[in-house]
Amino acid sequence: MSFRRRDLVAIRASKLPWNDRSGRFSLTKALSLALTLAPAIYLGTLAVKGMIGGASSALGPRPITEAIHFTGDWAIRFLVASLAVTPLRRILNYPKLIQIRRQLGLASLFYALGHFCLYVADQKFDLMRVLSEIVLRYYLTIGFVALAGLVSLGFTSTDAMIRRMGKAWVRLHKGVYLIGVLAALHFFMQTKADVYQPTLISGLFIYLMIWRIAHAQGFNSTSLRVLLSLSVLAAALTAITEYAWYSLATNIPADRVLLANLSFSNSIRPAWWVLSVGLVLAAISKARNGGKRGAAGKSRCITKSGERYSLAS
């Protein structure tokens, strides 16, 4: 009986979001949890200040609109962060990082749901109007499809669903790549003119995708040469993406935006940030892995505690 009681206590402890599968405290998961909660706490603090001191003192004259943008921004940030776990796990040679991917993915889902619920509130809970807006406005249609995709991934993210679905679970969760594309497009379309943030997020997403392609093709995805090449390619594609958006979707001269990448007098363009991130990761990988070839072609990882994770996303 005492064994069963200890076993039950261990199982319950393992369910706590700051513990690992064995029920032991995990600093990595605890920091990840704090990171995912911080934006919500910050937004809640601003909302309380607004109620006490007036809307203009916290979230501005349109607090719900500001909250909609805030939650949407963090939804896509955590989505990209969840996609970064697999590459970073290998590049940084830190297997325990895989423990936080589900946490980051669920954070993306919850912020996306908050984003949608705030939009419904902004429409005075008129569900018919919300439905018509989603159908008639392309950027809302795209965003809603991405949200539906996140809900399906979140619903099937439990261990029980992983066991029940088997290989179908891996195929379903590869849909996160399409969700990332739709989320980035939604971000661009709702931002309109100043697309600095959408371009930066898209650039990081591009880096993560071409890393996966290189890894799937059998390249040494932790080697200095490969990572340097990916960094340059991702930065170039980021600049091209920014140019294409201004050229096709705005009246702003796209050539000037492209040339702005050669000037640092006003701001550092997103392409340079993407390149910088890639170069830093390449340097860290060189130091951590020492040129060793990463495990190529592996699609799964099993930790010491016996936990299995699909590395598809």
Q: Is the dihedral of CA 183, 31, 36, 38 positive or negative?
A: negative
Which pair of tokens denotes residue 182? 């739709």
Kindly give, in sequence order, each residue whose CB lies less than 8 Å from that of residue 171, ignoring residues fewer than 6 positions away.
none
The pTM score is 0.88
* 65-114 pLDDT tens trace: 999 999 999 999 999 999 999 999 999 999 999 999 999 999 999 999 99
The arithmetic mean of pLDDT across residues 32-38, rounded, is: 97
Distances (CA, A) of 95 to 108, 158, 254: 22, 20, 42
pLDDT of residue 62: 86
Residue 202 located in a structural domain: no
Alpha-helical (H) ranges within the chain are 2-15, 27-53, 63-91, 101-122, 127-136, 138-155, 159-165, 167-173, 176-191, 196-216, 224-249, 254-259, 270-289
Question: Which three-class secondary structure state does DSSP give residue 308?
Answer: strand
Residue 203 located in a structural domain: no
Number of domains the chain is built from? 2
* 243-285 pLDDT tens trace: 999 999 888 888 898 888 888 878 899 999 999 999 999 999 9
Q: Is the domain of 123 the same as that of 232?
A: no
Q: Is the domain of 149 the same as that of 239?
A: no
Q: Domain end: 160, 191, 222, which one?
A: 191
Kindly give, in sequence order, each residue whose CB lies less than 8 Å from that of residue 137, ignoring residues fewer than 6 positions away.
none
Q: Is the domain of 258 the same as that of 127?
A: no
Q: Which amino acid is at 204?
A: L
Range of the domain at 127: 28-36+43-191
Residue 17 located in a structural domain: no
* 203-236 pLDDT tens trace: 999 999 999 999 999 999 999 999 999 999 999 9
| DSSP annotation of 292 | P
Q: Is the domain of 233 the same as that of 92?
A: no
